[in-house]
Amino acid sequence: MTSQLIADLEWRGLIAQSTDAKALVEQLDREPTAFYIGFDPTAPSLHVGNLVVLLVMRRFQLVGHKPLPLVGGATGLVGDPSGRNEERTLNDEAIVEQWVERIRLQLSKFLAFDSSSNAAVMTNNLDWTSPISALAFLRDIGKHFSVNQMLSKDSVSSRLEAGGISYTEFSYQVLQAFDFLELFRRHECKLQIGGSDQWGNIVAGLDLIRKVEGGVAHCLTIPLMTKSDGTKFGKTAGGSVWLDPEMTSPYAFFQFWINSDDADVAKYLKVFSFQSREDIEELIRAHEENPGARTAHRALARELTTLVHGEVECNNAERAAKALFGQADLNELDEKTLESALAQLPRTTISAGSEFPTWVDLLAATGVVDSKSAARRIVKEGGAYLNNEKVSEESFSPSVEDLLFGRFLLLRKGKRDLAAVELV
């Protein structure tokens, strides 16, 4: 089973580095192995970038290994220098504590915490970092680290070249290594998985386990996700795509996958989908034969929205997407789903009690067209819609009766250009 897992991870492009691939496979074959991935609470929610490693953790548990998801209540107070050119803003302890709890709840949705032999165990590095004094930490842990080796780590050397690094962030790799040591002691954790930018920190943990306990452990890193154009994965014009439905609505989450670049969808299917290799390859073939159908995008959006937000919210998001483009009845949407869908669109507002502008004026105000004359031309050409009903007169103005839930209007130009109006 382990060899199949490793082969599957390789096919999916999910293995970047390993200390000793053969020894790791032997360890995983020998016994169900406790392993961990760390998540620092640097925001109130995880984002889609975190899903990459989180779903690898899920894959390991599904074949019998024991996950130890770690929320960094301690390291979240310090800040990881990896991938940053400047010092991280340090958050208040009370804020970090709140974020720890929110992220713990999110993690619990993806892993099994039941009574089985490989049930996941939630951990927090504040539990073992907080009780230890600074002197004890320096004497018992710090003495095992060579400053020369620490300076050679990519995350440190790049910061030194960029202008410097504080002792606070410089110490991050010692704290992360201490985490691996404590999980090795407490839970017999013998594997750490992380992004490829964490390689130096993970190897430092392996060295510490060997020096302090004479133990052997392993590491596996996962390539950092980028889009085909080289830009950062998980970012949109509106910012990061979060797993918290209050920060990124299920509709916006669904649309993130639907709107992903054609050049990326094959890679995304391999990385995120739990479908079989055969089914994924069939989706990729279908996409290559008819990209416009967006079959692969839709399958991915359904699977991940259901996984993150549940089947009901996925169905609501898909129904909203169809309704906005005239393929389903807008009146069948609930107000919350409609509001979250319209929030993603170019928009304008009208004041309650004032006379309603014309459809032409409203479309121009949203910025979907450059001018009112362009909006009038759309009406003449038969491409103007209000709430999916055709607008045939340039002078047409909506009325209060047209408002959806007494608040919203949906404007459409042609088949795909949408805009929203809200009564305020």
Query: pLDDT digits over 223-276, tens only?
Result: 999 888 888 888 776 788 999 999 999 999 999 999 999 999 999 999 999 999
The per-residue pLDDT for 421 is 93
The torsion angle over the Cα atoms of residues 228, 230, 233 and 237, rounded to 10 degrees, is -100
Q: What pLDDT, on a 0 to 100 scale, did the predictor assign at position 84?
A: 66
Size (the chain), residues: 424
Alpha-carbon span 250 to 307, nearest angstrom: 11
In angstroms, the Cα distances linking 370 to 155, 236, 261, 343, 359 are: 46, 23, 26, 21, 14
d(C-alpha 62, C-alpha 105), whole Å: 20
Q: Are 125 and 175 in contact (CB under 8 A)?
A: yes
Asked whether the beta carbons of 243 and 310 are under 8 A apart, the reply is no
Average pLDDT over the chain reads 91
Cα separation of 384 and 198, whole Å?
A: 52
Burial tier of 8 (Cβ tally within 10 Å: 0-12, 13-18, 19+): middle
Q: How confident is the model at residue 89 (pLDDT cuts 50, 70, 90)?
A: confident
Say yes or no to pLDDT of 1 above 70. Answer: no
Q: What is the CATH number of domain 345-424?
A: 3.10.290.10
pLDDT of residue 237: 67
Which pLDDT does position 161 carry in this prediction? 75
Q: Helix, strand or coil for residue 242? A: strand
How do residues 176-226 score in pLDDT, each as one tens digit?
999 999 999 999 999 999 999 889 899 999 999 999 999 999 999 999 998
Same CATH fold assignment for domains 2-222 and 226-328: no
Please, which pLDDT band fits residue 325 given cuts at 50, 70 and 90?
confident
Distance CA 295, CA 286 (A): 7
Annotated domain spans of the chain: 2-222, 226-328, 345-424
Q: What is the mean pLDDT of residues 356-364?
A: 92
What integer pLDDT is reported at residue 236 of this predicted model?
A: 73
Range 283-288, long-range pairs (CB < 8 A, 24+ positions): 287/262
Is the per-residue pLDDT at 312 higher than 80? yes
pLDDT score, position 159: 75
Predicted pLDDT at 311: 96
Query: Out of 74-83, 95-104, 376-385, 407-416, which region has the weakest mean confidence (pLDDT)?
Result: 74-83
Topology annotation, domain 226-328: Tyrosyl-Transfer RNA Synthetase (1.10.240)
Q: What is the pLDDT of residue 289?
A: 94
Q: Distance from first CA to last CA of the chain, Å, rounded?
A: 59
Question: Is 2's pLDDT higher than 80?
Answer: no
CA dihedral sign of residues 336, 245, 422, 375: negative
Look at residue 386 and give its three-state secondary structure.
strand
* Closest C-alpha to 368, from 417, 327, 406, 403: 417
What's 2-222's CATH class?
Answer: alpha beta
The pLDDT confidence band at residue 85, using thresholds 50, 70 and 90, is: low
Whether residue 83 is predicted with pLDDT greater than 70 in this model: the reply is no
Strand pairing report for 384-386 and 347-350: unpaired
pLDDT over 80 at 88, yes or no:
no
% of the chain with per-residue pLDDT over 70: 98
Exposed / middle / buried, residue 328 (Cβ in 10 Å: 0-12, 13-18, 19+): middle
In order of 78, 102, 308, 404, 419, the CA distances from 341 in angstroms are 37, 25, 18, 13, 11
